[in-house]
């Protein structure tokens, strides 16, 4: 009886434990910087390709980025399982510095191959540093993981807002280095990534060493476990649709005459949808379960795709819905996937592969059939996370063994 009472007391204490934001702050700040670096570099890569005279290949940089991330995510996941999150994240941010510098020099010189090489290196880094969300979730009790992921997303808004606020300074710097603001953004991204890498030296992972068998499962065994494949499906669809529309909508706005500051504001609205409401969506998913995240996220993704072909303020509204729909699906999927460390890297890889296919096919679709055709195809695919919700079943309370 004493053992049972102690177990109940420990379970109550775990559920009541507050988030230790202070100890996670270096990780949160590094992720915010990574988000900012993405906003001023890869998001505008389609505009750079257009400026380099490759209008029919405007979706290619995003495809290269996503393919590189898909190839590296599993490798970074394995590295983090064996050597720890800090080493893996430090390596990813350092690779991002190299990719951003190569991308800047290639675009500034007008070399498409060099620019794509930089984009590929930056994408490979993305496959690693995006796994910071698992590090944050592992650092808190299971019933607070949605909240921890939500705070991580909220902190990411800081990087986006900061980059939008400095858009005029980036334009000034562009004049000094002899490049367009879109190209200069890659140089700024290198500085942000370097700072993120340095922040990792100040962060100590909170995940205690454990002998959990799931950490040592083979990939086949991990994906054979109930819930893994349906979770991977939802996350891949959410990531693929978000990246496809996020990457190609700014080009559409640019062609409509929107200036650099206007495109930056559009991206900020999208990033606000992705990250700004994590403080709300994370605890909601903790309380209501992952089915809520999948269903509400799927409906918002469909609404975003259906409104994307509209003009004026509808474009900003669509980008916001796109971000918020991704937020819900991603938090729900990431929360579920923390139970399966062996499948995390490959699950991320599937999402990046979907993004690569989506951006490449999306660019070709726009060139031959127009943007509305792409948007409506994305709307149809947006319903797929509903299948994941059905497979997830009703949320079950955690079982605390005596």
Distance CA 335, CA 394 (A): 15
Output the CA angle 360-362-368, nearest 5 degrees. 110
Distance CA 160, CA 164 (A): 6
Of residues 190, 296, 284, the one with CA closest to residue 234: 296
Domain boundaries, the chain: 24-204+220-392
Can you give the pLDDT at residue 64? Answer: 87
Residue 135 has pLDDT above 70, yes or no: yes
Task: Note the pTM of the prediction, 2 decimals.
Answer: 0.72
Residue with the bigger pLDDT between 103 and 260: it is 103
CB 55 within 8 A of CB 178: no
Residue 239 has pLDDT above 60, yes or no: yes
Question: 24-204+220-392 in CATH: which number?
Answer: 1.20.1250.20
Half-sphere exposure for 402 (CA within 13 Å, toward CB): 5
Q: Which of 135-144, 201-210, 336-345 has the lowest mean pLDDT?
A: 201-210
Of residues 234, 225, 220, 222, the one with CA closest to residue 390: 234
CB neighbours of residue 166 within 10 Å: 16
Distance CA 316, CA 310 (A): 10
CB 262 within 8 A of CB 342: no
Can you give the pLDDT at residue 219? Answer: 62
Q: Sorting pLDDT into bands at 50, 70 and 90, what band is 18?
A: low
Using a pLDDT cut of 90, give the percent of the chain over it: 33
Q: Which residues, including other chains, have CB under 8 Å from residue 292's CB and lie 6 or more apart?
A: 284, 285, 328, 332
Q: Is 4 exposed, middle or buried (0-12, 13-18, 19+ CB in 10 A)?
A: exposed
Residue 30 has pLDDT above 90, yes or no: yes
Residue with the bigger pLDDT between 386 and 5: it is 386
Q: Which of 64-78, 126-140, 255-269, 280-294 has the lowest mean pLDDT?
A: 255-269
SS3 for the chain, per residue?
CHHHHHHHHHHHHHHHCCCCHHHHHHHHHHHHHHHHHHHCCHHHHHHHHHHCCCHHHCCHHHHHHHHHHHHHHHHHHHHHHHHCHHHHHHHHHHHHHHHHHHHHHHHHCCCHHHHHHHHHHHHHHHHHHCCHHHHHHHCCCHHHHHHHHHHHHHHHHHHHHHHHHCHHHHHHHHHHHCCCHHHHHHHHHHHHHHHHHHHHHHCCCCCCCCCCHHHHCCHHHHHHCCCHHHHHHHHHHHHHHHHHHHHHHHHHHHHCCCCHHHHHHHHHHHHHHHHHCHHHHHHHHHHHCHHHHHHHHHHHHHHHHHHCCCCCHHHHHHHHHHHHHHHHHHHHHHHHHCCCHHHHHHHHHHHHHHHHHHHHHHHHHHHHHCHHHHHHHHHHHCCCHHHHHHHHCCCCCCCCCC
Distance CA 92, CA 56 (A): 31
Q: Which of 53-67, 159-173, 286-300 has the highest mean pLDDT?
A: 286-300
Q: Which of 113-117, 183-187, 207-211 has the lowest mean pLDDT?
A: 207-211
Can you give the pLDDT at residue 275? Answer: 80
What is the rounded average pLDDT for all residues in the chain?
82
Q: Average pLDDT in the 324-336 region?
A: 93
Q: Which of 241-245, 269-273, 300-304 has the highest mean pLDDT?
A: 300-304
pLDDT tens for 199-227 read 999 888 765 444 444 445 566 776 777 77
Q: Average pLDDT in the 9-14 region?
A: 38
Question: In degrees to the nearest 10, what's the CA dihedral of 92, 360, 278, 41?
Answer: 50
Can you give the pLDDT at residue 93? Answer: 97
């Amino acid at each position: 009886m004493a053992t049972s009472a102690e177990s109940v007391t420990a379970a109550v204490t775990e559920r009541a434990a507050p988030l230790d934001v202070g100890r996670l702050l270096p990780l949160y700040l590094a992720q915010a910087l990574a988000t900012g670096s993405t906003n001023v570099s890869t998001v505008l890569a389609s505009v750079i390709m257009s400026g380099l005279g490759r209008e029919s290949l405007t979706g290619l940089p995003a495809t290269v980025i996503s393919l590189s991330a898909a190839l590296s995510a599993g490798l970074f996941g394995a590295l983090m399982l064996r050597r720890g999150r800090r080493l893996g994240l430090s390596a990813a941010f350092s690779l991002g510095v190299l990719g951003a510098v190569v991308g800047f020099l290639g675009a500034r010189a007008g070399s498409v191959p060099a620019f794509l090489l930089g984009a590929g290196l930056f994408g490979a880094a993305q496959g690693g540093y995006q796994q910071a969300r698992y590090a944050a979730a592992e650092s808190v009790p299971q019933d607070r993981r949605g909240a921890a992921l939500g705070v991580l997303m909220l902190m990411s808004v800081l990087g986006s807002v900061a980059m939008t606020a400095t858009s005029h300074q980036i334009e000034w710097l562009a004049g000094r280095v002899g490049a367009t603001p879109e190209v200069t953004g890659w140089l700024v991204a290198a500085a942000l990534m370097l700072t993120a890498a340095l922040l990792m030296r100040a962060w100590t992972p909170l995940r205690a060493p454990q002998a959990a068998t799931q950490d040592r499962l083979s990939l086949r065994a991990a994906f054979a476990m109930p819930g893994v494949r349906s979770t991977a499906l939802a996350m891949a669809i959410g990531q693929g649709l978000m990246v496809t529309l996020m990457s190609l909508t700014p080009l559409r706005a640019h062609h409509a005459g929107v200036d650099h500051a206007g495109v930056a504001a559009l991206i900020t609205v999208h990033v606000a949808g992705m990250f700004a409401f994590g403080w709300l969506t994370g605890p909601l998913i903790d309380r209501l379960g992952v089915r809520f995240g999948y269903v509400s996220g799927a409906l918002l993704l469909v609404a975003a795709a259906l409104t994307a072909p509209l003009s004026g303020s509808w474009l900003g509204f669509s980008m916001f819905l796109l971000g918020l729909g991704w937020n819900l699906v991603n938090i729900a999927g990431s929360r579920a996937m923390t139970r399966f460390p062996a499948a995390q890297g490959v699950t991320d890889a599937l999402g990046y592969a979907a993004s690569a296919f989506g951006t490449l096919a999306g660019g070709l679709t726009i060139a031959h059939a127009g943007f509305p055709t792409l948007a409506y195809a994305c709307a149809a695919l947006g319903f797929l996370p509903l299948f994941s919700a059905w497979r997830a079943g009703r949320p079950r309370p955690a079982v605390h063994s005596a």
